[in-house]
Amino acid sequence: MDKSYKNVYITTPIYYVNDVAHIGHAYTTIIADMLARYSRLTGLDTYFLTGTDEHGQKIEQSAKQRGRTPQEYADEISGKFRTLWDDFDISYDKFIRTTDEEHKIGVQKAFETMYNKGDIYKGDYEGFYCVSCETFFTEKQLVDEQFCPDCGKPTNIVKEESFFFKLSKYEDKLIKWYEENEDCILPRSKKNEIVNFVKGGLKDLSISRTSFDWGVKLPESINEPKHVMYVWLDALLNYITALGYGNKEENMNYWPAKVQLVGKDILRFHAIYWPAFLMSLDLPLPTHIAAHGWWTRDGEKMSKSKGNVVNPKEVADAYGLDAFRYFMLREVPFGQDGDFSQKALMDRINSDLGNDLGNLLNRISGMSGKYFDFKVNSVDVEKFHKKELDEVNEILENVESYIFNMQLNRYLEDIWKVLTIANKAIGDYEPWAKMKEGKTEEAMALVALITNIMAKVALLLDSVMPEKISKIADSLGIEINTDTYNKLIVNKELLDETTITKVEQLFPRIEEVLLEQASTADVSKAEPEEKAKAKIDQKKENDEESDNLITIDQFFETTLKVGTIIEAEEVPKSKKLLKLQVDLGEGKNRQILAGIKEFYDAKDLVGTQACVVANLKPAKLMGMLSEGMLMAARDENGLSLIRPETPKKSGTKIS
């Protein structure tokens, strides 16, 4: 192992508290946990950070919708994340919340430092803001002049006084960093996207807001009480405030981070803004920013509205936490998207875990028990199995290099190659035949070879499946610790004499999916679609997240009316927009811009009716005012406007 560094700091993104944890959050956290456990086992001083991101307009809005204060709401959801990670035995050293006092002090200190350096100035921001992604966009970046290019939701027009960070100043320095540090962003394909983006030119970044309150105030020395910090500045700084930055600095010796894990959707913030902020603070940059792909379900993005979100706790409870961890780490090459299905998980459990790993352990206890009263010694392994030992050591020598390069599935694939060598050796050397022939030494050498391979594998899999590996270790009579790691892995030594204990089947075979399909939204092909859909609907009704339901009063906050389309024309230069004059019975028509050009000819719409959201704040699209929104439904066959079944008077209320 490369010991050129002493301290290893691993971070996950901090999770927004507007949603409960799903498989995507679990994925990031499990990867980080694996790295941290591995690093600790090798003897490195390791610090592992996770936590929750609690400020910003999105959280403020979510809390309001539920009639709660942002703090109450954040407390509840943050608590749920923490409980889940505790249930999952995630070995974090610190769980940070951006509402922690120490964090806020650190963030203000950082702001002040950047300001004093001349990297922050005051100006006016005018542009578009996606509350869901908490991201600013220029008009050019929007999709169809209105929608967020990342999540597809409508953006808001923002015009307010703001402080700006001189991101443009760091363009060349960032490019130099990318060039000089080949693996600073992993995987490399993702790095190329970032480098190209930065080479395209960086604009200064708006880093304060005045239109809402739920955020860290600017430092008092700046005397701008109206401003709160942009949530991404606040959030990114958690990685250093967690170590005491701007405060007691008690753990700053862990900085810079070894690996900062993120999902691909938030790589831009971490690979551009974050290093620029660090440069401004004169702090060193992380070794790796590693972006993983997204988990989908049946090839579809998971979302609450589709009811297809995979609940990690349910999956772990049904199939076992360690199996779930193994599946997530093995199934998809880091950086690529993965698709969750119970079938794929079952296959991994039955084949990799049950057959290759679990059965091998049973064979060790079976053979050692039958022939040697459970006592195994390694004295003759070198003599009879040098070839196998060399093969195993050669593979294991290289697996370590995969870890911090985030080639975690290759790490596991190679460990499975080693298990194959062990399983194959049993068939090749037939210890039962050796015993019959009286070649006891050879039979013992074979059993000891397998036991040693299992012990080495156990050490390397401890970070992946800590609970099951502790059972394997008990069975082999070994301890999983740095000393054993150094002896068996680093120094390639063999076990001293050991006594095997019988254990129960570690990964019993699973014949049928264990979860109601709807609850993981894994609709099996065998199941009639209708039945599955009914289950999903039922699940939605029963969903314990009933706090997503709205009251009738909340529903009536939206005014829906029947509108008659009086005029319709195409908006020049727009692929999507039609400009409509709609009569809502108000004496004066409303101008509404609707993104339906691909589906309707303007002339066919005149005289027809549609349901209109009538109390929407007017917005400008392509410089034109839009005073409402037509309701429509869209699926793979196209889009249809929602209309009354029989004509109704213009302006009739819909309820």
- Helix 70-87 vs helix 57-65: angle between axes, to the nearest 10 degrees? 100
| Residue 329 and residue 31 in contact, taking contact as beta carbons nearer than 8 Å | yes
Stretch that binds ligand MSP, among 139-147, 148-156, 235-243, 579-587 (CB under 6 A): 235-243
| Strands 632-635 vs 638-641: parallel, antiparallel or unpaired | antiparallel
Closest CA to 206 of 152, 134, 139: 134
User: CB neighbours (10 Å) of residue 220?
Assistant: 10
Alpha-carbon distances of 259 from 126, 186, 409, rounded to whole Å: 35, 10, 17
* 53 vs 388 by CB, closer to ligand MSP: 53
User: CB neighbours (10 Å) of residue 382?
Assistant: 13
Q: Does 53 bind ligand MSP (CB under 6 A)?
A: yes
* 260 vs 564 by CB, closer to ligand MSP: 260
* 16 vs 163 by CB, closer to ligand MSP: 16
Residue 611 is assigned to a ligand binding site: no
Residue 130 is assigned to a ligand binding site: yes
In this chain, which of 20, 59, 186, 236 binds ligand MSP, going by CB under 6 A? 236
Q: What does the alpha-carbon distance between residue 315 and residue 26 come to, in Å, rounded to a whole number?
A: 11
Question: Which residues are within 8 A (CB) of 520 and not within 5 positions of it... i.e. 6 or more apart?
Answer: 297, 310, 311, 314, 315, 340, 342
Q: What does the alpha-carbon distance between residue 11 and residue 309 come to, in Å, rounded to a whole number?
A: 24
Q: Could you say which residues in the range 8-37 bind ligand MSP, by CB under 6 A?
A: 13-16, 24-25, 27-28
Collapse the DSSP code of 63 into the 3-class scheme (helix H, G, I; strand E, B; otherwise coil) and give the result. Answer: helix
Q: Could you say which residues in the range 389-418 bind ligand MSP, by CB under 6 A?
A: none
Q: Does 257 bind ligand MSP (CB under 6 A)?
A: no
Q: What does the alpha-carbon distance between residue 496 and residue 482 come to, in Å, rounded to a whole number?
A: 16
Residue 148 is assigned to a ligand binding site: yes
* 266 vs 289 by CB, closer to ligand MSP: 266
**b/e code 514-536 from CB counts within 10 Å (16+ = b):** bbbbbbbbbbeeeeeeeebeebb
In whole angstroms, the minimum distance from the beta carbon of 596 to ligand MSP comes to: 29
Per-position DSSP letters for 116-153, written without gaps between them? HTT-EEEEEEEEEEETTTTEEE-GGGSBTTTB-TTT-P
Q: What does the alpha-carbon distance between residue 644 and residue 610 come to, in Å, rounded to a whole number?
A: 7
Residue 184 is assigned to a ligand binding site: no
* 27 vs 402 by CB, closer to ligand MSP: 27
* 236 vs 448 by CB, closer to ligand MSP: 236
Count the residues of the shown chain that bind ligand MSP, applying the rule CB under 6 A: 19
Stretch that binds ligand MSP, among 232-240, 397-405, 527-535, 607-615 (CB under 6 A): 232-240
Q: Does 243 bind ligand MSP (CB under 6 A)?
A: no
Q: Could you say which residues in the range 260-319 bind ligand MSP, by CB under 6 A?
A: 262-263, 265-266, 294-295, 302
* 207 vs 266 by CB, closer to ligand MSP: 266
In whole angstroms, the minimum distance from the beta carbon of 511 to ligand MSP comes to: 29
Stretch that binds ligand MSP, among 40-48, 189-197, 257-265, 486-494 (CB under 6 A): 257-265
* Residues in binding site for Zn(2+): 130, 133, 148, 151
- Judged by the rule CB under 6 A, the positions of this chain that interact with ligand MSP are 13-16, 24-25, 27-28, 53, 235-236, 238, 262-263, 265-266, 294-295, 302
